[in-house]
Amino acid sequence: MTVADPAPLAEYLRVRRARVEAGLERYLPGPPACPPVIADAMRYSLLAGGKRLRPVLTLAAAEAVAARLGIDEAAAADLALPAACALEMIHTYSLVHDDLPAMDDDTLRRGRPTAHVVYGEGLAILAGDGLLTEALALMAREPAAAPPALGVSDADLAARKLGALAVVASAAGAAGMVGGQALDLQAAGQAGPAVALDAAGLRAMHERKTGALIRAAATSGAIMAGAGDDLVRAIDAFAADLGLAFQIVDDVLDVEGAASDLGKTAGKDAAAGKPTYPSLYGLEESKRLARGSVECAERTLAAAGLGGRLPDIARWVVARTS
């Protein structure tokens, strides 16, 4: 069993993001495996930086489960790295498609022009399609073998990969992120007559659009580390509250943040008349709800004997300014 990393959270995030960046470079196909034009378009959005919350959460969940089970945390994170990278590919694909004129029609993402502005709508759509399908292929393919320190059989590794893949694919599909985006379009009047959302409807939309992939990020890391059903359920419950807090903070920052800090257009939701937590609850109550969600997430971890960096990440999510 390795000792939990004592470094400050900022250093922890820097190191884990660097691991993810290196993994993305390694796993994303390029010429001659695929045409240069699509390789360039995928890389433009995928390697543009960002918080990398989802892949870091995957690694942190794997490490927390490993610590709970008394196994090597670094080796467990190695097992989870392909899933972590796949989650970032899927998240980036969703951003590329969300920014299209047919969706949010945004021109700024991660501090630079969006993919369709640079490459055109057709290639941006294909880049998103490519990132999604490459992510699923990656999870099916990697890791090819488990680190010897873990003593994981080939059959067990295959079962973990299949379980994680099923969770991620479901979260990305019509029951999850895609369904949430459809509800978002419907609420904005872009899929027939506008449908007004009350508080329950807003939460349900974001549980699919944002929360599902955050939950999948954490639970896939737990599954790859060998968590049993009880620990997987605890990680999932933690991540559900974390996802809610993340979305509430996003809505608050859309009101209070500056485009230079956010790396995307500020005030876009209000201008489009979209339902948000501040529009329903006001800013101060929204901030209180976000803090309450994080406190609930921390209680879930404590009850399950889980820790590591997960509580720190939860507090970072609610305190962030970008």
Annotated domain spans of the chain: 9-319
Give the relative orientation of helices 199-206 and 229-256 as an angle to the nearest 10 degrees.
Answer: 110
Per-residue pLDDT of the chain (322 residues; tens, 9 = 90+): 233 455 699 999 999 999 999 999 999 999 999 999 999 999 999 999 889 999 999 999 999 999 999 999 999 999 999 999 999 999 999 999 999 999 999 999 988 999 999 999 999 999 999 999 999 999 999 999 999 989 999 999 999 999 999 999 999 999 999 999 999 999 988 888 888 899 999 999 999 999 999 999 999 999 999 999 999 999 999 999 999 999 999 999 989 875 545 555 655 666 566 789 999 999 999 999 999 999 999 999 999 999 999 999 999 999 998 8
**Rounded CA separation 89/229 (Å):** 27
**CATH class of the domain at 9-319:** mainly alpha
pTM for this entry = 0.93
Within 103-228, where are the H helices? Answer: 115-119, 121-141, 154-172, 177-187, 199-206, 212-224
What was the pLDDT predicted at 4? 43
Q: What's the Cα-to-Cα distance from 215 to each of 61, 212, 221, 235, 297, rounded to whole Å?
A: 11, 5, 10, 8, 12
Looking up tokens 């880049």 gives 127
CA gap 11, 123 in Å, rounded:
36
Dihedral sign of CA atoms 216, 240, 88, 83 in order: negative
Do 178 and 214 contact (CB within 8 A), yes or no? Answer: no
Q: Residue 143: is the preceding peptide bond cis (ω within 30°)?
A: yes
Query: How far is Cα of residue 257 from the mean position of the Cα atoms in its chain?
Result: 21
